[in-house]
Amino acid sequence: MSQPKTPPPLSAKDPSSFAYPTMKDRIPVILSKIVDHLTRNKLHITKEYGGEAAREELKAVIGAISELRHDVMTNKPAKPLRDSRHDAPLWNAQLEKQLNLKREEDEMHRTEQVKGEGLRWFDDAWLWMECYLYRRVQEAFLMCTLLKDFDVFAQQKQDAFKNAFQSTSHLTMYLQEVINRFKEQVPEAEVKEYFVEFLQVSLWGNKCDLSISAGQVQSHDHNPVIHLKVLKHKLLIDESDAVYQILRKVFDTKGKPAQVDIVLDNAGFELVTDLCLAEFLITSGLASQIVFHAKSIPWFVSDVTLADWDWTLNTMSRMNHIAISELCERWRAYLEANTWTVELHDFWTMPNSYNEMHKVSPDLYACLSQSDLILFKGDLNYRKLVSDRQWDTTTKFESALRGFHPAPLCSLRTLKCDCVVGLRSGQVQEAEEEDENWMINGDWAIISTCEHRET
Ligand SMILES: O=P(O)(O)OC[C@H]1O[C@](O)(CO)[C@@H](O)[C@@H]1O
Ligand SMILES: [Mn+2]
């Protein structure tokens, strides 16, 4: 079958793309908030991290972040990373590679290099530049000795978790009921119904990231299961059935439940919904092994790091809430028995789209190939799955993956950028009539699946 021509990447050079307001407004706000947070908490941080020496480091970090903000706003070229984290050489090699591509393109189109060499915030690929931005934020801390492991977004992530207490309470109590229901034989149709509920709750959990709201924590107090009905018509692609069938088939062909990999996105309520989905998969017998993939550095404000994972489980187990603390005990037992594992890989915090994974990180590709189903959470994972390109919205998901297919996979994503595939014709107009910001406000969503590699 002929592959569609790969369109150009999204970029802030196009003022009509969401990339442009992201670079122009959202990123400067996120960087200002970092500076504010560090300034406001100066005393506390200095005390906790070692006094006078920490104060000096904090000053340097604030300087570096302010400079980064200025670089973005004045469209300065991307500089090579200077810290000694083990991924720095890889990043710098990617920077060089991206620059070479740019040179080739410039030559091909005989574009004059008026601004001189370098990748620039408002001229080059949005995905690349935005990932690089979060790695540069980390660089500011990695240049320190005392503050090198400081997560400047930790407080926001913890507040987001606390603000979602009501929704967490509803969801965990419901999950407890479902677990009790499974003490007896549950008819197949009902298993599927529950599965779709937990899958979709986990999908809508993705509404809650902190980078889209530039760090503004919102409170969530509705019952997320009941709320699914309200959200139903905003689900533009719903392949929940196909996902269920993938898991069922594993059981039929292998004679054992599936291994499901969950490539996590945000901490806070989204992580709670992912944990509940994982619990349901084990309880129902649809899966016997869950592999969670978290980030190895603070990323896109709210993404889950190992420290966030630990903080969330520790906090939940101490909560005076019977469903929450009991579930936590089950989860600790799964982790101890390796029924659940949490993996880290630096590839998740590189700028590459996933069609490059087999070349850049063949070990991760091989590891994901062991899975029976990979669930990719959230907007950024989606952008990387489809290479963050200006696809025609009716392009098939399998084609946009450009050969990435370690195993059957599914994207659970609320839309927060102007890139989506797999829609039927006419769907764009329908959504636009109802909500002009449907592509970027996180109110609309998709569940897109790819069972087989495109041939
Ligand atoms: O947490 P998510 O769903 O990956 O969203 C990350 C955010 O980053 C972006 O992909 C770019 O800023 C947005 O479109 C989105 O707000
Ligand atoms: Mn995120």
Map residue 151 onto helix, strand or coil. Answer: coil
Is the CB–ligand 1 distance for residue 212 below 6 Å? Answer: yes
Is the CB–ligand 1 distance for residue 383 below 6 Å? Answer: yes
Other C-beta atoms closer than 10 Å to the C-beta of 52 total 8
Backbone angles phi, psi at 310, to 5 degrees: -65, -45
Per-residue pLDDT of the chain (455 residues), as tens digits, is 455 689 999 999 999 999 999 999 999 999 999 999 999 999 999 999 988 899 999 999 999 999 999 999 999 999 999 999 999 999 999 999 999 988 887 777 665 554 568 999 999 999 999 999 999 999 999 999 999 999 999 999 999 999 999 999 999 999 999 999 999 999 999 999 999 999 999 999 998 655 555 455 565 667 888 888 888 899 999 999 999 999 999 988 998 999 999 999 999 999 999 999 999 999 999 999 999 999 999 999 999 999 999 999 999 999 999 999 999 999 999 999 999 999 999 999 999 999 999 999 999 999 999 999 999 999 999 999 999 999 999 999 999 999 999 999 999 999 999 999 999 999 999 999 999 999 999 999 999 999 998 87
Ligand nearest to the CA of 26: 1
Is the CB–ligand 1 distance for residue 379 below 6 Å? Answer: yes
Is the CB–ligand 1 distance for residue 130 below 6 Å? Answer: yes
Tell how far the Cα of 373 is from the centroid of ligand 2, in angstroms: 21
Tell how far the Cα of 211 is from the centroid of ligand 1, in angstroms: 6
Is the CB–ligand 1 distance for residue 416 below 6 Å? Answer: yes
pLDDT at 247 (0 to 100)? 97
pLDDT at 215 (0 to 100)? 52
Is the CB–ligand 1 distance for residue 206 below 6 Å? Answer: yes
Is the sign of the CA dihedral 428, 429, 434, 436 positive or negative?
A: positive
Q: Select from 270, 348, 416 the residue to mutate for testing ligand 1; criterion: most ligand atoms less than 8 Å from CB.
A: 416
Strands, E assignment, 204-355: 235-238, 258-263, 287-294, 340-344
Atom of ligand 1 nearest to the CA of 266: 1
Q: Whose CA is nearest to atom 16 of ligand 1?
A: 212
Per the structure block, which two tokens stand in for 250?
Answer: 């594993």
Tell how far the Cα of 215 is from the centroid of ligand 2, in angstroms: 11
pLDDT at 227 (0 to 100)? 86
Q: Select from 211, 387, 412 the residue to mutate for testing ligand 1; criterion: most ligand atoms less than 8 Å from CB.
A: 211
Cβ proximity of 386 and 421 under 8 Å: yes
Is the CB–ligand 1 distance for residue 377 below 6 Å? Answer: no
Tell how far the Cα of 373 is from the centroid of ligand 1, in angstroms: 23
Is the CB–ligand 1 distance for residue 94 below 6 Å? Answer: no
Structural domain boundaries in the chain: 16-142, 154-450
Is the CB–ligand 1 distance for residue 442 below 6 Å? Answer: no
Other C-beta atoms closer than 10 Å to the C-beta of 41 total 14
Partners of 125 in the β-ladder: 11
Is the CB–ligand 1 distance for residue 22 below 6 Å? Answer: yes
pLDDT at 286 (0 to 100)? 97
Q: Give the whole-angstrom CA distance, residue 149 versus residue 192.
A: 43
pLDDT at 272 (0 to 100)? 97
Query: Which CATH number among 1.20.1050.90, 3.40.50.10880, 3.30.450.20, 3.90.1010.10 corresponds to the domain 154-450?
Result: 3.40.50.10880
Q: Whose CA is nearest to atom 1 of ligand 1?
A: 209
Atom of ligand 1 nearest to the CA of 382: 4
Strands 258-263 and 287-294: parallel
Q: Select from 304, 379, 411, 414 the residue to mutate for testing ligand 1; criterion: most ligand atoms less than 8 Å from CB.
A: 379
Tell how far the Cα of 50 is from the centroid of ligand 2, in angstroms: 31
Q: How far is CA 22 from CA 26, 27, 245, 303, in A?
A: 5, 6, 38, 18
Q: Select from 121, 156, 209 the residue to mutate for testing ligand 1; criterion: most ligand atoms less than 8 Å from CB.
A: 209
Per the structure block, which two tokens stand in for 341?
Answer: 């594992």
Per the structure block, which two tokens stand in for 196?
Answer: 């779709």
414: left (phi over 0), alpha (psi -120 to 50) or beta: beta
pTM of the model: 0.96
Map residue 318 onto helix, strand or coil. Answer: coil
Tell how far the Cα of 119 is from the centroid of ligand 2, in angstroms: 24
Cα angle for residues 284, 290, 291 (degrees, 5° grid): 170
Let me know if domain 16-142 sits in CATH 3.40.50.970: no
Backbone angles phi, psi at 162, to 5 degrees: -65, -40
Q: How is 339-361 classified by DSSP, letter by letter?
A: SEEEEE-GGGGSS--GGGHHHH-
Tell how far the Cα of 304 is from the centroid of ligand 2, in angstroms: 8
Atom of ligand 1 nearest to the CA of 209: 1
- Which of 338, 246, 330, 319 is CA-nearest to residue 283? 330
- Angle (deg, nearest 10), helices 269-284 and 322-336: 70
Tell how far the Cα of 298 is from the centroid of ligand 1, in angstroms: 14
The complex's ipTM? 0.96
